[in-house]
Chains A and B, each alone.
Chain A
Amino acid sequence: MLTKQVKQLLLAIVGQENYDDSKVECLVHSYDATPGFQALPDAVIKPGSTAEVAAIVKVCNEYNVPIVPRGSGTNLSGGTCPTEGGIVLLFNRMNSLLEIDEENLTTTVQPGLITLDLISAVEEKGLFYPPDPSSMKISTIGGNINENSGGLRGLKYGVTRDYVIGLEVVLPNGDIIRTGGKLAKDVAGYDLTKLFVGSEGTLGIVTEATLKLIPMPETTKTMLALYQDLDAAAQSVAKIISNKIIPVTLEFLDRPTLIVVEDFAKIGLPTNVEAVLLIEQDGPPEVVERDMKRMADICLEEKAVSVEIAETESDAVALKTARRTALSALARLKPTTILEDATVPRSEIAKMVRAINEIADKHNVDICTFGHAGDGNLHPTCITDARDHEEMERVELAFADIFAAAIDLGGTITGEHGVGAMKAPYLEWKLKKEGIDAMRAIKQAFDPNNIMNPGKVFAKETRKRVVVSS
């Protein structure tokens, strides 16, 4: 509960119409897309400017009120769930595309801008913003920056971090700083820009961002390679990359995922094969043609049963759009879908796929797998029912094993969804105590009162690691 005094101070900053502490408004900001996390904030606030954000932060810092910045609530690690109450900050009023600079190939935006609206706007000018998280139709740039979101085009083009070159940030003490700029080079001090990207709202509030753009690729081609053997599909991924081809997209979908996605999208996806790879390349037509041919040959050598190239642009778009629905479509099978995004070096992808299947068998849980195979970033998704407590315990154990297996293969517990509240108990497995201490020191320096998204990234208690694989 906010005290009367705090409420009055906040109301004076944003006005009655942008402050809401009704039960309904608090309830609908008590969750994000992560199953199992729900907690009510004390109020929901919509600032209209950086100055208002700074004023709000000062009040919260003085009175120790937690702040959770929220885009569209598509987070998959419980990162935007206000687990310790406080205020949820919305950016609906700070959602403008401020500028597209065609001379410097940059764009400057406010955090509330929807990702797809940005992508469409720059594409109209023949420019390209590659990061395309599956939720891009809904997610905001502010959310993408805080989570360092990836997407289907990450293999060739990288993730959000690779495109953020300047930020305006309100620090927890209310100071407003600007980092980076429209610069191709800038080594003036520490790279705070990159520090804030992926900081999950724990260090400050992004109020403006300058993003790098690149020229739009000339052509794009998309194909599906079909497999009756999961291993063969995973081997193809490693072989494509070791043959020095970097496609835009190299996605993996297993059969259960294919079935539910087809059930929803009805675009004629094969449902009688064990796995498919969705492959895309872009660039000058002759290069695309050559790479597609070579990748098709590699897939066939690796025992793909067939390779199908999308005939039209709209077929290609339909395939990618369908892939983006995979997680939500899996909810058709059972009410609760818990997904992870453990990531391994690309060369280890086949081992990881095998490990996931063994772990699923061991704990007797249903795991469907899809994901950005080319990035070594898989999304093993457990379909379960939160009401079945016994099964939920087994799911928890299975995921602990998956994290451990990924780390043993030289990987990490999260490739793109963030640590949030969900993976915080496992972070030490990856970073060791010293790594966590270094990060805590940074957090302490920026946010000594721990008002920024408390309870995220750093766990109160680390989960005990049981040695499972030899």
Chain B
Amino acid sequence: MTTVQERETIAIQFAEKMNEDELLNCMRCGFCLPHCPTYIESGLKESHSPRGRIALMKAVADGVIEPDRDVERSLSLCLGCRACEPVCPSGVKYGHLLEEARDIIHQNKKHSFPVKTIRKAVFSGLFPHQERMQTMTSLLGFYQKSGLQYMARKTGVLNMLPDNLAAMEKVLPKVPKKAEMKNRPTELPAIGTPLKKVAFFSGCLMDTMFLETNKATLKLLQLAGCEILIPKSQACCGALHGHSGEKAGAKQLAKRNIEAFETEEVDYIITNAGGCGAFLIDYDHLLQDEPEWHDRAISFKNKLKDISQILVDLRFQEKVRLKLPAQTVTFQDSCHLRNVMNTSSAPRILLQSIEGIDFREMKDADRCCGSAGIYNIVESEMSMNILDSKMEHTKSTQADIVVTANPGCLLQMQLGIERENLGECTKAVHIADLLIKAVAL
């Protein structure tokens, strides 16, 4: 809840900071509506649609309504999947509007003490510090390996957690050893003729909890003919901050990353997490008010590519034989990879090149799975409704493997599989992990 005074400040800042041109650019045609997961899941509620949310932002900026609890509710229920952007004929940058609005609300709102403590710990204490991410992940590893996990599951302690948190505990991957997370290479040679020089964006979660996926990604890049640099001073991309109304924190991380990557002369900067990639590619927008950074952000973003895209560009799938035992595979788009990085055909081309695989497109593969950063924890009811619809479509493909291209989607799809009791026959994997298995070495 916000106080009267907080609402006043929020309203003033909406009028000052929200991009009026962008708000006016929405001409309310409604072409976004059928693509918005929360509009659909809420039973076609206009207040949970992009058109409705933009109207609300504009109404607050124009002083027509107060930023009351319902306005905040409408904005916080948005997944931020940005599926409305590629279908918007007018080209409204909805994601930018949403981020600005959330930033204004969160910066002016007094959070309750526990919420404030958690936000501070996560946004300032944990994610910006890779060594702490490693420690945190190791603690999880201790939990998994020490018998604590076994005990916790056995004794039913986990039943005290909300349903989806308990299920989420189950789907976390087995984490690597701390020493392994610490001793990461800083450069790797191409295997075969070097074709391109690339820098790899490791990502905070990807380089800890999903270290295996990062290893697979690097190997694929080497096999595709890339010399790889992995700048040590890089940091978390800042997406979690940006999407949660912590813009200042996101900017600091953005600057660290721009500095870390501009010292090296490379052709591309490669990511393997759609969520990170989409945030990195928006650095120029994030830093638009800082002239000394804006151009540097543009040359940074121009080099960004997702792993699947560079593999296809270098015709990896034609040069390396890819083969797996017979199985059915489907692909769940990462919203940010598709809607922001504009990459959707490359992963499909790669998967269809694997011999032995029966690739079946699921209905609405381009619709969000409901993971959306920490959305599945803070908005679990909506998230689980969206996931249930997603699992219906997944099941009708009868896939053995659900391939994803982002860690959040991966965990969410695995969670969906657990909730449907399909763990025996189906699993979710990152595309890099599947491809490396398919490489006949």
- Contact surface of A with B, Cβ cutoff 8 Å: 22-25, 27-33, 35, 72-74, 92, 114, 135, 137-138, 261, 263-264, 325-329, 331-332, 335-337, 385-387
A46 to B21, CA, bound (A): 34
* Shortest Cβ distance from residue B248 to the other chain A in the assembled complex, whole angstroms: 28
> Which residues from B are CB-within-8-Å of A325?
31, 89
> How far in angstroms is the closest Cβ of chain A from B2?
14
Chain B residue with the shortest CB-CB distance to A116: B34
21 contacts between A and B (CB under 8 A): A22-B70, A23-B65, A24-B68, A24-B71, A25-B47, A28-B46, A35-B27, A92-B44, A135-B31, A137-B34, A138-B30, A263-B91, A264-B89, A325-B89, A328-B31, A328-B88, A328-B89, A331-B25, A331-B26, A335-B21, A337-B27
Do A329 and B30 have beta carbons less than 8 Å apart?
no
Q: Is B90's beta carbon under 8 Å from chain A?
A: yes
By a CB distance below 8 angstroms, the chain B residues around A336 are 24, 27
Among A24, A73, A261, A264, contact of B30 (Cβ-Cβ < 8 Å): A73
Closest 8 CB pairs of A and B: A328-B89, A331-B90, A335-B24, A24-B70, A325-B89, A28-B52, A329-B89, A28-B46
Q: Which residues of B contact A337 (CB under 8 A)?
A: 27
* A135→B55 contact, CB < 8 A: no
The answer to whether A72 and B33 touch across the interface, beta carbons within 8 angstroms, is: yes
Count contacts between A and B, CB distance < 8 Å. Answer: 93
A33 vs B89: C-alpha distance in the bound complex, in angstroms?
Answer: 14
Of the candidates A23, A74, A263, which one forms a contact with B70 in the assembled complex, judged by CB atoms under 8 Å apart?
A23
Which of B25, B27, B44, B56 contacts A27 (CB under 8 A)? B56
- Do the beta carbons of B90 and A328 come within 8 Å of each other? yes
- Do A73 and B46 have beta carbons less than 8 Å apart? yes
Q: How large is the interface on B (under 10, 10 to 19, 20 to 34, 35 or more residues)?
A: 20 to 34
Asked if A27 and B59 make an inter-chain contact with CB atoms under 8 angstroms apart, the answer reads yes
Q: Please give me the residue from chain A that is nearest to B72 by CB atom.
A: A24
CB nearest to A26 among chain B residues:
B65
- In chain B, positions 58-77 with a C-beta closer than 8 Å to chain A are 59, 64-66, 68, 70-71, 73-74
Supposing A72-B33, A328-B88 touch, asked if A31 and B28 sit within 8 A by C-beta, the answer is yes
Residues of B within 8 A of A27 (CB): 55-56, 59, 64-65
Contacts of A326 in B (CB 8 A): 89
Q: Does B29 contact A (CB under 8 A)?
A: yes
Q: By the criterion CB–CB under 8 Å, are A332 and B34 in contact? A: no
Instruction: Report Cα–Cα, A264/B89, bound state, in Å.
Output: 6
CB distance from B157 to the nearest CB of A (A): 37
- Decide yes or no whether B43 CB sits under 8 A from chain A: yes
Chain A, Cβ-Cβ closest to B32:
A138
Least CB separation from A337: chain B residue: B27
Give Cα distance in the complex from A325 to B91, angstroms.
11
Q: How many Å lie between the Cα of A386 and that of B34 in the bound state? A: 28
Whole-angstrom distance between the alpha carbons of A30 and B55 in the complex?
9
In chain B, residues 78-105, which have Cβ atoms closer than 8 Å to a Cβ of chain A?
88-91
Q: Which residues of B contact A327 (CB under 8 A)?
A: 27, 29, 89
Report the bound CA distance from A329 to B27 in whole Å. Answer: 10
Contact A23 B66 (CB under 8 A): yes
Cα distance A137–B24 in the bound complex, in angstroms = 23
Given A24-B74, A264-B89, A331:B27 Cβ within 8 A: yes
Partner of A23, one of B26, B27, B31, B68: B68
Chain A residue at minimal CB-CB distance from B22: A335
What residues on B are CB-neighbors of A23 within 8 Å? 65-66, 68, 70
B341 smallest CB distance to A (angstroms): 16
Residues of A within 8 A of B33 (CB): 72, 138
| Residue from the list A25, A33, A386 in contact with B28, Cβ < 8 A | A33
Inter-chain contacts of A387 with B (CB < 8 A): 24
- A138 in complex: contacting residue of B25, B31, B64, B89, CB < 8 Å: B31
Residues on the B chain within 8 Å of A329, using CB: 89-90
Complex Cα distance, B91 from A416, in Å, reads 26
> A33-B29, A73-B30, A73-B46 given. 6 additional CB < 8 A pairs?
A24-B68, A24-B70, A28-B56, A138-B34, A325-B89, A332-B89
B29 and chain A: residue at smallest CB distance: A328
Q: Is the CB of A137 within 8 A of B31?
A: yes
A336 CA / B29 CA spacing, docked (Å): 12
Contact status B55-A28, CB under 8 Å: yes
List of A residues within 8 angstroms of B30 by Cβ: 33, 72-74, 135, 138
Chain A: CB-nearest residue to B92: A331
Q: Point out which of B25, B33, B89 has the most chain A C-beta atoms below 10 A from its C-beta.
A: B89
- What is the bound-complex CA distance between A106 and B59, given in angstroms? 44
Structural contact, B74 and A32, CB atoms closer than 8 A: no
Q: How far is the CB of B50 from chain A (nearest CB, A)?
A: 11
> What CA separation (Å) do A73 and B49 show in the bound complex?
13
What is the distance, in angstroms, from B85's C-beta to the closest C-beta of chain A? 11
The interface residues of chain A lying within 8 Å CB-to-CB of B59 are 27
Q: How far is the CB of A175 from chain B (nearest CB, A)?
A: 29
Q: How far is the CA of A387 from the CA of B20 in the complex (A)?
A: 11
Q: Is the CB of A92 within 8 A of B43?
A: yes
Chain A residues with CB under 8 A of B91: 263-264, 331-332
Of B43, B59, B64, B74, the most chain A CB neighbours within 10 A belong to B59
Bound complex: CA A138 to CA B89 (Å): 14
Task: Tell me, rounded to whole Å, the shortest Cβ–Cβ distance linking B315 to chain A.
Answer: 23
- Give, as a whole number of angstroms, the nearest-CB distance from A416 to chain B: 16
Tell me whether B27 and A24 are in contact (CB under 8 A). Answer: no
Contacts of A29 in B (CB 8 A): 46
The residue in chain A whose Cβ has the minimal distance to the Cβ of B91 is A332
A386 to B27, CA, bound (A): 12
Q: Select one of A22, A263, A264, A328 contacting B27, CB under 8 A.
A: A328
Query: From residue B204, how far is it (CB to closest CB) to chain A in Å?
Result: 34
Which residues of A have CB within 8 Å of B27? 33, 35, 327-328, 331, 336-337
A135 contact set on B, CB distance < 8 A: 29-31
User: A335 to chain B: which residues have CB within 8 Å?
Assistant: 21, 24-25
Give the CA-CA distance A407 to B43 in the complex, in Å: 44
**Distance in angstroms between the alpha carbons of A373 and B31 in the assembled complex:** 24
Given known contacts A73-B46, A328-B88, A31 and B55 CB-to-CB distance under 8 angstroms: yes
Q: Report the Cα distance A264→B27, complex, angstroms.
A: 15
Query: Smallest CB-CB separation from B31: which chain A residue?
Result: A328
State in angstroms the CA–CA spacing of A383 and B33 once bound together. Answer: 24
CA separation between A336 and B64, bound complex, in Å?
20
A332 to chain B: which residues have CB within 8 Å? Answer: 89-91
Q: How far is the CB of A366 from chain B (nearest CB, A)?
A: 15
**A329-B90, A332-B90 are known contacts. Are A73 and B55 too (CB-CB below 8 A)?**
no
| A20 smallest CB distance to B (angstroms) | 9
Distance in angstroms from B304 CB to nearest chain A CB is 20
Q: Closest residue to A35 on the B side, CB-wise?
A: B27
B66 surroundings in chain A (CB, below 8 A): 23
Complex CA gap A114/B55 in Å reads: 22
Q: How far is the CA of A336 from the CA of B59 in the complex (A)?
A: 17
| Chain B: minimal CB distance from A291 (Å) | 31
Chain A nearest Cβ from B345, distance in angstroms: 13
Name the A residues within 8 Å of B24 (CB-CB). Answer: 335-336, 385-387
